[in-house]
Amino acid sequence: MQTAERLTKIPPYLFMTLRNKINAAKAQGVDVISLAIGDPVDPTPQAVIDELCRTAQDPENHRYPTDEEWGMLAFRKAVTRWYKRRYDVDLDPKKEIVALIGSKEGCHHFALGVINPGDLVLVTDPGYPGYKPSIWFVGATPYPVPMKAENAFLPKFADIPSDIAKKATAFYLNYPNNPTGAVATRPFLQELVEFAKSNDIAVCYDNPYSEVVFGVDRLSFLNISGAKDVGVELNSLSKPYNMTGWRIGMACGNPDIVKAIATSKANTDSGVFNAIQYAGIAALDQCDAFIEKMLAIYAGRREKVIRTLRELGWTYEPPKGTFYLWAPVPKGYTSPEFCEFLFEKCAVVIAPGSAYGQHGEGFVRFSLTVEDKRLDEALDRMRAALPRLEFS
Ligand SMILES: Cc1ncc(COP(=O)(O)O)c(C=O)c1O
């Protein structure tokens, strides 16, 4: 059977590979603890579940959710209220918001709606593994922009060659950042807007961790004057409300890009189940306190992991965002080698930095989306089995 040539460019999706490895070990009776994947194990807020149950009873909601192609206006209005309350950002629900089946879907429809075959597209390295495949799928070429520890894992615009900047048509990036946990600053985002404006680059600012910050203010790309002229922000209910399985998010900002995403979506899927959109409204309107509760849980888990890493020889400043800890690899190991070593010694799975791009090498990522009891067990195993590690 012929399959498309474009698929030959796509490496196996990191988390599928990790899941297969975990399942294979479990099948052999190994008690594996995964700190590899960013998928909250804690439940969705009850108010959201109740709203889904209530609205799923209404046959009106069993039909295609296509009456309003950009997502229900009621959902888009809730997004408007949320952005105003949480970020002091004004959005027009009729022109500047489209509902998504998660921000990952938005990354893909951004490519379909904005990028042409043959285009050059900037993408941070390390970067979320979902970006490059979307760029390849539309026949464009990703150009890696390094994010280095010495620059607080923020790209340096001055280091992007000017011919590349001129040629590029789009830029994918995300802060609070997966995988590094780095957060953006206002001056950085102002520079991003200027850079995009002067080089005519459309920005896909993927922001599903916007709420997951520790000791710094929440920040939206749309907080920056001129941001709506150059790009969109993708956001999602997955991470703040433990709703990864529900598949609901939003693209907000530049009306032309929002319309392009909506057009691509209208010809691909039939939108988000109405009952899930109603449940999404409940999350956005009623669950601010839930976010604070989850942040306190993550803060506790962060402290535990940081304390253990320090006991084992790590000295590093923990990142300020996301529920990941991005830590340097001990001396004598590549990132996959260290992950393998940890797996063999402790049956603990973490993600190798190299899986996020060549500039991710030298780091590993710990995810905090695991029950406290299991996290404690993983850390006990690490303290018992690992030698004191050395770092260059
Ligand atoms: C940077 C980034 N973007 C997008 C996603 C996908 O999120 P969603 O569940 O909203 O599709 C993830 C999930 O891990 C992510 O880390």
pLDDT tens-digit map of 155-200: 999 999 999 999 999 999 999 999 999 999 999 999 999 999 999 9
Mean pLDDT over residues 146-162, rounded? 97
- Using the atom order of ligand 1, give the atom closest to the CA of residue 174: 1
Mean pLDDT over residues 293-302, rounded? 98
- Using the atom order of ligand 1, give the atom closest to the CA of residue 104: 11
pLDDT reported for residue 207? 98
Distance 209 CA to ligand 1 centre (A): 8
Distance 106 CA to ligand 1 centre (A): 10
Mean pLDDT over residues 87-101, rounded? 98
- Kindly indicate the confidence band of residue 15, based on its pLDDT and cuts at 50, 70 and 90: confident
Distance 130 CA to ligand 1 centre (A): 8
Indicate the pairing of strand 97-100 with strand 33-34: unpaired
pLDDT tens-digit map of 236-273: 999 999 999 999 999 999 999 999 999 999 999 989 99
Mean pLDDT over residues 101-106, rounded? 97
Mean pLDDT over residues 48-75, rounded? 94
Q: Work out the percent of the chain whose per-residue pLDDT is above 90.
A: 90
pLDDT reported for residue 230? 98
Distance 169 CA to ligand 1 centre (A): 22
pLDDT reported for residue 67? 76
- Kindly indicate the confidence band of residue 354, based on its pLDDT and cuts at 50, 70 and 90: very high
For CA atoms 31, 37, 39, 40, the dihedral sign is: positive
Q: Is the pLDDT of residue 317 over 90?
A: no
- Using the atom order of ligand 1, give the atom closest to the CA of residue 322: 16
- With a 6 Å cutoff on the Cβ, whether 127 touches ligand 1 is no
- Using the atom order of ligand 1, give the atom closest to the CA of residue 236: 10
- With a 6 Å cutoff on the Cβ, whether 220 touches ligand 1 is no
Q: In what order do the strands lie in the sheet with 141-146?
A: 97-100, 249-253, 231-236, 202-206, 168-173, 120-125, 141-146
pLDDT reported for residue 53? 98
pLDDT reported for residue 17? 77
Distance 236 CA to ligand 1 centre (A): 8
- Using the atom order of ligand 1, give the atom closest to the CA of residue 106: 11
For ligand 1, atom 16, name the residue with the nearest CA. Answer: 178
Confidence (pTM):
0.96
Which residue from 172, 221, 236 has its CB within 8 A of the most atoms of ligand 1, so it is best to mutate?
A: 236
Distance 208 CA to ligand 1 centre (A): 6
pLDDT reported for residue 282? 98
pLDDT reported for residue 68? 82
Distance 174 CA to ligand 1 centre (A): 10
Mean pLDDT over residues 101-105, rounded? 97
pLDDT tens-digit map of 203-227: 999 999 999 999 999 999 999 999 9
* Domains defined for the chain, CATH in brackets: 5-43+289-385 (3.90.1150.10), 46-287 (3.40.640.10)
Distance 183 CA to ligand 1 centre (A): 16
CB distance 108 to 121 below 8 Å: no
pLDDT reported for residue 21? 82
pLDDT reported for residue 66? 77
Cα 331 from Cα 328, distance rounded (Å):
9
pLDDT tens-digit map of 355-388: 999 999 999 999 999 999 999 999 999 999 998 8
pLDDT reported for residue 88? 98
Cα 198 from Cα 168, distance rounded (Å):
12
Q: Is the pLDDT of residue 13 over 80?
A: no
Mean pLDDT over residues 56-74, rounded? 92
pLDDT reported for residue 315? 87
pLDDT tens-digit map of 114-139: 999 999 999 999 999 999 999 999 99
- With a 6 Å cutoff on the Cβ, whether 178 touches ligand 1 is yes
Mean pLDDT over residues 80-104, rounded? 98
- With a 6 Å cutoff on the Cβ, whether 231 touches ligand 1 is no
